[in-house]
Structure 1
Amino acid sequence: MASDAEPAPAAAASLARGGRTNFAGFLLRLAARFPFLVLAARLYGPGELGEFAYAVMVVEFVAALATMGLKRGLSAEMARGGRPETHALADGWVLGLGLALLGTAVLWLAPALMFPGGSGAGMRGFALIVPAIVLSDVSLAGLAFRHRIEVAVRARSVIEPWVLTIAATALAFTAAKHWGLLLAYALSLVAAATASVWPAARQFGLPRGWRPSARRMGAMAWRNLPLAGADLVDWGTRRLDLFILGRFAGPQEVGLYYVAQQVASLAGKIRVSFDPILAPMLSKAVKEGRPKEAAAHLNQVGFWVLSFQLPVVLALGLPGEGVLGLFGPAFAAGALVLALLLTAELAAAGSSLAEMGLIYARPKANLAIAAASLAVQAVLSLLLVPRFGGAGAAGALLLALALGALARQLVLGRALGAAVGLWRWSLLGAGAAAFAFGAAARGLPELWEMMVVIPGVLLLFAGLIWRFGYGAADRALFRRGH
């Protein structure tokens, strides 16, 4: 449970402003992403969705390698001082781009890494999207350090998902339908990269006096190595289930799992909404020797995240058959998988928020916990997936994330000398009441169940948590004047 410590009023106001902006971005992203999933599932089917999911997983893995932890580590580089922030951003761009081009070359020469069945070898050009992902991530990390969160919202929550949705729908009715999802994804990321890099260049200006230096960028990469390792392990934790499932099942089952995973990830996007504003504030607090302030930031944001995420998990999980049935009758069989993945998102929220503190306070301990969690997930997945399929993959993920969250919060609390606990009793009480309401409505016909449970759970939880859980500091999130 959370401590009673609260952030200073000015810091709470900054967290609230960033949280409002990014939560608005989450709602915008949801408004575009959900239609994409429905249209893609119905227009392309689970088989093509499965091939798309696997190829995207590989490309994003290579991009994560090339980013070298700079999505979060760039804030620490800029906070170090001693040189202009513009130079740190330029180093990040060049370092990331160089590694991205290397990864692209590997995928270009070995397209079977993206398309293990061999059917997609002709789409080796899909590998060219890796540099766009990396440049976008580094640019948005630099802008977040200056609290320019609205750029990430515009690029990732408006431009990227809507270009993806519109392009995938249009391409489904052309001769390029077989590659439609991959082409749409590439177009959306190019558009998002343009909307990220250009604002960063305007915000920071030309890096006057900057010269590329392999030694300096090598030192940057070395400093970010623990964070890069943790990012890769965390990335692997969230993709290992899909990878192992793909090795034991065909594209169709992977496609069913992918849709359930994407629906569950909508809840996880709530937590990600606060990352851009929380990371720079945590890095400054830890660097300047204010560990208790860092803990207060984490506890405050953790409560906000869970108070939004828990009702979404209940609202999507309780009528799971109906929610997945929107994508087509074949997808309704994944209701148990969806319930497990949604619960895993709650564990991921606690794990990821605690990790944001650990990467600045105890980066090596964080990497060790991340590696141990991944090992646990791998063992559990290999035991459960052959027997239970998608449900086994989701269950292994849930257990690994829950253990990782507990370990990270305990270690971070000791490192900061202050309690780090994101849950409060009010969350459990409001969640229990909302769950009881949703469970009572499960006897209704499927359509009516969704119409009653989804808005009913959200409204009931919101009313209870606002009345009994939110204090003055918590309500700063909704005061637009701050």
Structure 2
Amino acid sequence: MSSAELAKGGRQNVFGYVMRLIARIPFLVVGGRLYGAEDLGRFAYATMTVEFAAAIALVGLKRGLALALARQRQPENHVMADAMLLILAASTAIAAVFLLFPALLFPSGLRFEGERFLALLVILIAVLDLLLAGLAFHKRIEIQVMSRSLVEPWVISLAAIGLYFTPLQPAGLLLAYVLALVAASVVAWIPAFRQFGLPQGWRPSLARMTAMARENLPVAGADVIDWSSRRIDLFILGRFASAEIVGVYYVAQQIASLAGRLRTSFDPILAPLLSRALASGAKAEAAGHLAQVGFWVITIQLCVVLMIGVAAEGAMGLFGPEFAVGGLVLLLLLLAELASSQASIAESALIYSRPRLNLGISLLAIAVEIAVAVWLAPLWGGAGAAMGLLAAMLVMAILKQILIVHALESPVPMWRVSILLCALPAFLYGYATRALPEAWHMVATGFGLPALYFFLVWKFAFTPADKLLLARDRKENPA
């Protein structure tokens, strides 16, 4: 049954990933073309800080909640209530610090007093992620797709356009971000309430909350470090470069992260399956889940890297002439996201089976990133910061792959030679199109390259089990 569940959940998340890919691009175009690199850089720093704070406030429950629910030590809505109270306490404390010290969000100072209340989004984001994690445990993946992949990106894009033509234009990007998160939260709250209901008979317990926080501490550390590894480069660059350069880097980072979000979109279906398999001691089954999802993610992500990487300068130029200089940065960040996929998928099981060693590897990787970025960012600007991220992701990918094989006592093959053989003709085709005028080059890589790549993959690389990802439900064999 789990193979069919994995394929169905993966299919829903691939759909959500494509929708997010389509919807996020307009926001970046609007931000770059209408608001400019400086405003975009300011927005990037503030929202990065808020999202980092929310990741801390979640205390690992975005992934750890699945294991807490699977143990069935108390009713599900009691577990949800304990988790909700815990993250409300943590997120409120962090938000209070930002309210008192808004320079943590806006180092250049507030443009108007209302900007300090962006701090309250720490609470909103943490609660939203908790609700989606709870729904994912019951395979309600469509709610995450609707909330995060449809409602949030489209609301932020449309709101940013509308607010630009109003007196609120100086705060347009930030207000659009607020509206998008509120809309995404509404989408999640209704099904979450229907799924779990009110926690009848529940009473707050400091002991239970403390135990939950302690159990999830290794997961929380891994989540925060994983999140930090993808943001610390921007933070370091901000210490050495102007807001305009940070804005260019942010656009490149957002485009590259669209490839990385494909991996994270599989977490809602993968976490419950892994937690159940590992709880029952089925290590080989867990290894099979990881290998299958890893292959799917790398297959699709490799196409995105080829498609965008071959046309990196042109892709950056879409957001404004001043962004075209970020082509090399975009290419390096795409390679970093590809390298990180293997590590992140392995980590999905390591947080349950080898939490402390997993945390140690993550700490080592972020130390490598900081060292390389601090060394190279003053010399090469955005390219130096991107090199720091790439170095960290390579270290993490190699070490976590070795560790997961030992932890599960089974091979976890995510890469296959067949995929590389399919990628080679697609790359040569894309590189050859660079001889065309820029507009035709963009069209040829945007449509022709993925068509060629996936034709080859379907014919020569996908097995019948792989093709379940794109099969209709009625054709799936539940056995």
TM bucket, shorter chain: over 0.9
Deviation at residue 433 of structure 1 after TM alignment: 1.4
Deviation at residue 421 of structure 1 after TM alignment: 2.6
1:140 and 2:132 equivalent? yes
Map 1:196-215 → 2, pairs under 5 A: 196-215=188-207
Please name the residue that 1:100 is paired with.
91
Please name the residue that 1:4 is paired with.
none
Please name the residue that 1:66 is paired with.
57
Q: Retained in 2: the 8 A contact 1:111–1:121?
A: no
CA–CA distance in structure 1, aligned partners of residues 361 and 451 of structure 2: 37
Please name the residue that 1:325 is paired with.
317
Please name the residue that 1:417 is paired with.
409
Map 1:401-412 → 2, pairs under 5 A: 401-412=393-404
Deviation at residue 198 of structure 1 after TM alignment: 2.2
What RMSD, in angstroms, separates the aligned Cα atoms of the two structures? 1.0
Q: How many residues align?
A: 473
1:312 and 2:304 equivalent? yes
Map 1:418-437 → 2, pairs under 5 A: 418-437=410-429
Q: Retained in 2: the 8 A contact 1:361–1:415?
A: yes
Q: Give the TM-score taking structure 2 as reference length.
A: 0.97
Please name the residue that 2:450 is paired with.
458
Deviation at residue 31 of structure 1 after TM alignment: 2.0
Q: Retained in 1: the 8 A contact 2:102–2:110?
A: no
1:32 and 2:49 equivalent? no
Q: Give the TM-score taking structure 1 as reference length.
A: 0.97
Please name the residue that 1:76 is paired with.
67
Please name the residue that 1:225 is paired with.
217
Residue 421 of structure 1: SS of its match in structure 2? coil
Please name the residue that 2:40 is paired with.
49
CA–CA distance in structure 1, aligned partners of residues 262 and 369 of structure 2: 24
Q: Retained in 2: the 8 A contact 1:115–1:121?
A: no
Q: Retained in 2: the 8 A contact 1:370–1:404?
A: yes
CA–CA distance in structure 1, aligned partners of residues 10 and 466 of structure 2: 12
Which runs of at least 4 in structure 1 moved beyond 2 Å after TM superposition? 119-122
| CA deviation map 1:229-251 (0-9, x unaligned) | 11111111000100000000111
CA–CA distance in structure 2, aligned partners of residues 62 and 267 of structure 1: 23
Deviation at residue 120 of structure 1 after TM alignment: 4.0
Please name the residue that 1:250 is paired with.
242
CA–CA distance in structure 2, aligned partners of residues 287 and 120 of structure 1: 51
Please name the residue that 1:472 is paired with.
464
Map 1:250-399 → 2, pairs under 5 A: 250-399=242-391
Q: Retained in 1: the 8 A contact 2:110–2:116?
A: no
Which letter maps to 1:439?
A: Y
Which letter maps to 2:22?
A: A
| CA deviation map 1:101-155 (0-9, x unaligned) | 1111000000000001114462101111111101100000000100000110111
Report percent identity of matched pairs. 52
CA–CA distance in structure 2, aligned partners of residues 151 and 203 of structure 1: 12
Deviation at residue 214 of structure 1 after TM alignment: 1.0
| CA deviation map 1:200-235 (0-9, x unaligned) | 111111111211111101100000000001111111
| CA deviation map 1:30-52 (0-9, x unaligned) | 22111111111111000000000
Deviation at residue 77 of structure 1 after TM alignment: 0.5
CA–CA distance in structure 2, aligned partners of residues 314 and 479 of structure 1: 25
Please name the residue that 2:118 is paired with.
126
Q: Retained in 2: the 8 A contact 1:135–1:197?
A: no
Deviation at residue 422 of structure 1 after TM alignment: 0.9
Which letter maps to 2:83?
A: G
Out of 430-439 and 241-250, give the one that drifted further. Answer: 430-439
Please name the residue that 1:234 is paired with.
226
CA–CA distance in structure 2, aligned partners of residues 193 and 218 of structure 1: 27
